[in-house]
């Protein structure tokens, strides 16, 4: 009798345990069979009333059944626990979605826009032009003589005799002056090309920003003020600038412009070769011959112009030692500029 009852209890418990799918359901089953008033517990309670010869037999069988149920319940508890954790990981509608990878502008684009913004606040307008140019715009109108070394096949990418890839963006300034009368106040950013052997400082494709201001009574003092404001805005408010005499065919007088090293603030470090100064751009007063080429009266108008390399400025500002890092597409480098 008691043994049959145990068998029924075990098989019923087994069936219920196999169907349980939540920790709560398993706990309910445990209470139902093994709890203080559980079915199996009742069997144990009835043992003292049995005839003496049946007590050990039923006792043993009840203990065996109890062990079996405890093991089954323990296994079931583990099963439903992992099941529910797994289903939570698979789908939780309350979690935010995984964000898509975000792009950002290239450090050269960023630098170029920074520079243009600074000049825009001083009233300059952004001007653009073609990358494939006529000889006239790249050389002739800029007072660069036919025998100048930069016009050599080795120093310019020629498409044909009179057509080339521009080597500077002064082309845009000549085009702008040809199109209208002074006053002119423009900056011309863009790609330029020179057949240099590539190394840490040279790339056949690079970016330039040139500026041009033409009006009556424009002076070298105006040029100095504008470039000082630019350097302060771009690098640091305490930066100083100095002008060293130089030569360009399209300006007279011409100057190379340095600023106090943004790394050591002028004390001397490896970036500035311990001089405290760094060359940032070239500039000067527009040569009267250039004005003649675009039909501006050099007796009436004066102007200043300047040109700078975007790669060079970005390398100085961010401490980059190899120009090729800008172009090889390595996101370990580029992602540092996701500002």
Residue 153 CA from chain centroid, whole number: 37
- Name the residue with tokens 């002074």: 182
Provide, rounded to whole angstroms, the least separation between the CB of residue 209 and ligand 2NL. Answer: 9
Decide: 85 and 78 in contact? Cβ < 8 Å.
no
Q: Does residue 306 interact with ligand 2NL by CB under 6 A?
A: yes
Q: Kindly state whether residue 308 participates in binding ligand 2NL, applying the rule CB under 6 A.
A: yes
Segment interacting with ligand 2NL (CB under 6 A) among 55-63, 207-215, 220-228, 230-238: 207-215
Rounded Cα gap, residues 270 and 195, in angstroms: 29
Tell me, residue by residue from 263 to 302, as one string, x for binding to ligand 2NL by CB under 6 A and - for no binding. ------------------xxxx-x---x------------
5/175 with CB nearer ligand 2NL: 175
Q: How far is the CB of 212 from ligand 2NL (least distance, A)?
A: 5
Alpha-helix residue ranges (DSSP H) falling in the chain:
2-19, 23-34, 39-46, 55-90, 107-121, 135-138, 170-179, 220-234, 288-293, 310-318, 331-334
Quick one: DSSP state of residue 151?
G
The DSSP secondary-structure symbol of 339 reads: -
Q: Closest-CB residue for ligand 2NL? A: 307
Interacting positions 126-185 with ligand 2NL (CB under 6 A): 170, 173-174
- The correct pick among 307, 310, 316, 326 for binding ligand 2NL (CB under 6 A) is 307
* Minimum CB distance to ligand 2NL, residue 322 (Å): 19
Nearest one of 182, 206, 218, 245 to 305, comparing CA atoms: 218
Q: Which stretch binds ligand 2NL (CB under 6 A): 84-92, 154-162, 219-227, 246-254?
A: 246-254
- Residue 111 CA to residue 156 CA, distance in Å, equals 26
State which of positions 71-100 bind ligand 2NL (CB under 6 A): none
Which tokens in the block code for residue 318? 């961010």
Rounded Cα distance, 5 and 40, in Å: 9
Distances (CA, A) of 255 to 33, 35, 100, 223, 285: 98, 97, 49, 11, 9
* Cβ neighbours, 10 Å, residue 148: 13
Stretch that binds ligand 2NL, among 84-92, 228-236, 245-253, 262-270 (CB under 6 A): 245-253
- 309 belongs to the binding site for ligand 2NL (CB under 6 A): yes
Tell me whether residue 176 or residue 260 sits nearer to ligand 2NL (CB atom). 176
3-state secondary structure of 12: helix
The least distance separating ligand 2NL from the CB of residue 144, rounded to whole angstroms, comes to 11
Residue 107 binds ligand 2NL, judged by CB under 6 A: no
What residues between 10 and 29 interact with ligand 2NL by CB under 6 A? none
Between 5 and 207, whose beta carbon lies closer to ligand 2NL? Answer: 207
CB of 232 to ligand 2NL, least distance (A): 20
> 132: part of which helix (H) or strand (E)?
strand 132-134
Length of the chain as a residue count: 339
Q: What span, in angstroms and rounded, lies between the C-alpha atoms of 244 and 257?
A: 6
Q: Which stretch binds ligand 2NL (CB under 6 A): 33-41, 208-216, 264-272, 331-339?
A: 208-216
Instruction: Kindly list the residues in this chain that would bind ligand 2NL in the complex (CB under 6 A).
Output: 170, 173-174, 208, 210, 212, 248, 250-251, 281-284, 286, 290, 305-309
């Amino acid at each position: 009798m008691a043994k049959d009852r145990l068998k029924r209890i075990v098989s019923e418990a087994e069936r219920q345990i196999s169907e349980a799918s939540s920790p709560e359901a398993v706990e309910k089953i445990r209470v139902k069979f093994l709890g203080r008033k559980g079915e199996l517990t009742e069997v144990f309670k009835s043992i003292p009333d049995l005839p003496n010869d049946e007590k050990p037999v039923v006792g043993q069988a009840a203990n065996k059944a109890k062990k079996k149920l405890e093991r089954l319940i323990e296994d079931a508890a583990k099963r439903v626990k992992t099941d529910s954790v797994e289903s939570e990981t698979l789908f939780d509608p309350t979690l935010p979605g995984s964000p898509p990878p975000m792009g950002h502008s290239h450090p050269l684009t960023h630098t170029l826009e920074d520079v243009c913004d600074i000049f825009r606040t001083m009233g300059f307008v952004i001007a653009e032009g073609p990358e494939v140019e006529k000889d006239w715009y790249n050389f002739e109108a800029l007072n660069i003589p036919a025998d100048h070394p930069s016009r050599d096949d080795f120093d310019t990418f020629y498409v044909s005799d009179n057509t080339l890839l521009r080597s500077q963006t002064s082309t845009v300034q000549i085009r702008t002056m040809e199109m209208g009368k002074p006053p002119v106040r423009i900056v011309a950013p863009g790609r330029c090309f020179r057949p240099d052997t590539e190394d840490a400082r040279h790339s056949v494709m690079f970016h330039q920003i040139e500026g041009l201001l033409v009006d009556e009574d424009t002076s070298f003092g105006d040029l100095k003020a504008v470039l000082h404001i630019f350097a302060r805005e771009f690098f640091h408010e305490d930066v100083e600038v100095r002008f060293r005499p130089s030569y360009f065919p399209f300006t007279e007088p011409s100057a190379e412009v340095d600023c106090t090293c943004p790394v050591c603030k002028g004390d001397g470090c490896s970036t500035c070769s311990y001089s405290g100064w760094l060359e940032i751009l070239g500039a000067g007063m527009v040569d009267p011959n250039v004005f003649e080429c675009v039909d501006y009266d050099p007796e009436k108008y004066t102007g200043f112009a300047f040109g700078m390399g975007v790669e060079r400025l970005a390398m100085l500002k961010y401490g980059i030692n190899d120009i090729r890092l800008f172009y090889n597409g390595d996101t370990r480098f580029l992602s540092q500029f996701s500002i």
